Structure 1
Amino acid sequence: MTNQNPKVDQFMETVEHPQKEAVAYLRAAVLKAEPGLTEQVKWNAPSFCHDGVDRVTFQLKAKDVQLIFHRGAKVKDGDAEFVFPDDTGLMKWRSSDRAVVTFQDLADAQAHEAAFLDLVGRWVRA
């Protein structure tokens, strides 16, 4: 994967998380499915960027696997009107421009992988 960041690799070596295998699996799947994404460590977790803007970031404080879908660090003008259709039912909205996708474990992530990767692709282009 040419978009895999060695700094994120180093960070992941130090991560202690009960679902680390699922985090690594989803990280690789996202980078493979969306070659236009870059990644960095942001908010003490791997974060995927599109055109230099963080769009999907792991939340590593929970026992399960959580990914925050956002439109950058700060709310943008017009976000109150932002609408994103989620036909997967995976997203739980926290605000008009932020949602969380949660997987219990690796098996759960694998079971929903196709829908999740489609969601990521549509989100980063929204």
Structure 2
Amino acid sequence: MNNESEKRMKKKLTGPEQVAEFMAKLDHPLKEEIEEVRKIILNSDTRITEHIKWNAPSFLIENDDRITFNLKGKGFFRLIFHCGAKKNPETKKEPLFVDHTGLLEWQTNDRALVNFSNKNDVKAKEERLRTVIGEWIRITVN
């Protein structure tokens, strides 16, 4: 059997299977920290599922991407908080909500970043991250 036949016969992986395979193969100096942040996100809301998007784990609510890893940085990784692929017709100038934690770095009114640099940084931001995830989901899920 050639490679093409094998690919067709191989079943399509579920989102969590995609992420498990991706993480097993991931070669990143902050892999342990990435796993920890992944657990924090998955444990934040029972509706959260995951798959691979933009060549990294991405987290969905009701099949819409809301939080996606960016693993391309040197010495850090980041989470991108966004509203999925669908453009909101109501474009506001101000951020979706007031981030009282100070954790989010707003890029646009509906897109924000959080950077992580090491294990201590993840630990220091954990509670604020849980708060921001809850608020992001509350605001962006209809």
Q: Distance in 2 between matches of 1:36 and 1:43?
A: 21
Q: Which structure's CA Rg is the greater one? A: 2
In the alignment, is the contact (CA less than 8 A) between 2:82 and 2:110 conserved in 1? yes
Deviation at 1:80, TM superposition (A): 2.1
The corresponding residue for 1:99 is 112
Q: Distance in 1 between matches of 2:96 and 2:132?
A: 14
Deviations 1:12-56 (A, max 9, x none): 111122211111001012112211101110000000101111000
Q: Alignment partner for residue 67 of structure 1, among 79, 84, 109?
A: 79
Q: Is 1:18 aligned to 2:29, yes or no?
A: yes
Deviation at 1:104, TM superposition (A): 1.2
Deviation at 1:73, TM superposition (A): 2.5
The two structures have a TM-score, normalised by structure 1, of 0.90
Q: Is 1:6 aligned to 2:23, yes or no?
A: no
> Partner letter of residue 136 of structure 2?
W
Contiguous gaps of at least 5 residues in structure 2: 1-14
Q: Which runs of 4+ in 1 moved over 3 A?
A: none
The two structures have a TM-score, normalised by structure 2, of 0.80
Q: Is 1:42 aligned to 2:53, yes or no?
A: yes
Q: Say which SS state the counterpart of residue 121 (structure 2) adopts.
A: helix
The corresponding residue for 1:120 is 133
Note the aligned Cα RMSD (angstroms). Answer: 1.5
Q: Is 1:85 aligned to 2:85, yes or no?
A: no
Give the percent of matched residue pairs that are identical in Structure 1 and Structure 2: 40
The corresponding residue for 1:58 is 69
- Equivalences, count: 123
Q: Say which SS state the counterpart of residue 51 (structure 2) adopts.
A: strand
Deviation at 1:74, TM superposition (A): 4.6
